[in-house]
Amino acid sequence: MNDKADQTSAQLKTQIEALTNGPLLVYGSLLIKDKNGEKRLKNKTTALCRCGHSNNKPFCDGAHVKSGFEV
């Protein structure tokens, strides 16, 4: 990341980080609406599944480790 990107990211309220071989970490406040329309407000760090194997989608439940997800 360059200096300008560092300055911009410091000003954002929500940031997303892709972990190697793991979930997307979302830092900040967000409202998640699940497949049933149920809404959940998350205020700190949220791990979202990107391997497709979680039994608690859209959240990561650690299943990426067992499935051998690599990206």
Per CB under 6 A, residues contacting ligand FES are: 22-23, 49-51, 53-54, 60-64
Please give the Cα distance from 71 to 52 (Å, whole number). Answer: 13
Distance separating alpha carbons of residues 29 and 26, to the nearest angstrom: 8
Nearer to ligand FES, 40 or 52 (CB): 52
**Closest CB to ligand FES among 42 and 53?**
53
- Please identify, using beta-carbon distances, which residue of 8 and 34 lies nearer to ligand FES: 34
> What is the nearest approach in angstroms of ligand FES to the Cβ of residue 23?
4
List, edge to edge, every strand of the sheet that includes 45-48: 15-18, 24-27, 45-48
What span, in angstroms and rounded, lies between the C-alpha atoms of 41 and 21?
26
Q: Residue 70 CB, nearest distance to ligand FES (Å)?
A: 11
